[in-house]
Amino acid sequence: MPRQKTLNVLILGSGGREHALLLACLASPLTASVSVAPGNGGMAAEAPCHPLNLEDVGATVALAKRIGANFVIVGPDAPLALGVVDALEAAGILAYGPRLAGARLEASKTFTKAFLLRHKIPTAHGERFTATAPALAYLKTRTLPIVIKANGLAAGKGVIIANAPEEAEAAVRAMLDERIFGESGAEILIEDFLKGEEASIMLMVSGRRYVMLPASQDHKRVGDGDTGPNTGGMGAYAPADVVTPDVERRVIAEIIEPTLAGLAQEGIEYRGTLYIGIMVTRDGPKVVEFNARFGDPECQVLLPLLETDPLALMHDCATGDLHPENVRFKGGAAVVITLAAEGYPGTPRKGDVITLPVETPPAARAIHCGTKLDASGKFFTNGGRVLGAFAHGATLAEAVKHAYALAEKIHFSGMHYRRDIAARQLNRK
Ligand SMILES: Nc1ncnc2c1ncn2[C@@H]1O[C@H](COP(=O)(O)OP(=O)(O)OP(=O)(O)O)[C@@H](O)[C@H]1O
Ligand SMILES: [Mg+2]
| Domain map (residue ranges) of the chain | 7-97, 125-192, 195-331, 332-429
Mean pLDDT score of the chain, rounded to an integer? 96
Asked whether this chain's domains 7-97 and 195-331 adopt the same fold, the reply is no
Reported CATH class of domain 125-192: alpha beta
242 phi/psi in degrees, rounded to 5: -65, -25
Residue closest via CA to ligand 1's atom 24 equals 156
Ligand 1 atom at shortest distance from the alpha carbon of 277: 17
Distances (CA, A) of 110 to 126, 142, 155, 161, 190: 9, 18, 17, 17, 9
Q: Compute the average pLDDT of residues 143-155.
A: 94
* Class (C level, CATH) for 7-97: alpha beta
pLDDT for 362 equals 81
CA 223 – CA 229 distance, rounded (Å)? 8
The per-residue pLDDT for 361 is: 83
* The predicted structure's pLDDT at residue 429: 66
The binding-site residues of ligand 1, defined as CB within 6 angstroms of any ligand atom, are 124, 147, 149, 156, 158-159, 161, 191, 193-194, 198, 277, 288-289, 291
Atom of ligand 1 minimally distant from the CA of 158: 21
pLDDT of residue 169: 97
pLDDT at 155: 81
**Is 195-331 a CATH 3.30.470.20 domain?**
yes
CA 283, chain centre distance (Å): 26
Global pTM reads: 0.97
- The domain defined by 332-429 carries CATH number 3.90.600.10: yes
Name the phi and psi angles at 214, rounded to 5.
Answer: -55, 145
Average pLDDT over residues 241-247: 97
Mean pLDDT, range 339-360, rounded to an integer: 96
Q: What would the pLDDT profile of 400-416 be if each residue is shown by its tens digit?
A: 999 999 999 999 999 99
Ligand 1 centroid distance, CA of 157 (Å): 9
pLDDT in tens, 278-308: 999 999 999 999 999 999 999 999 999 999 9
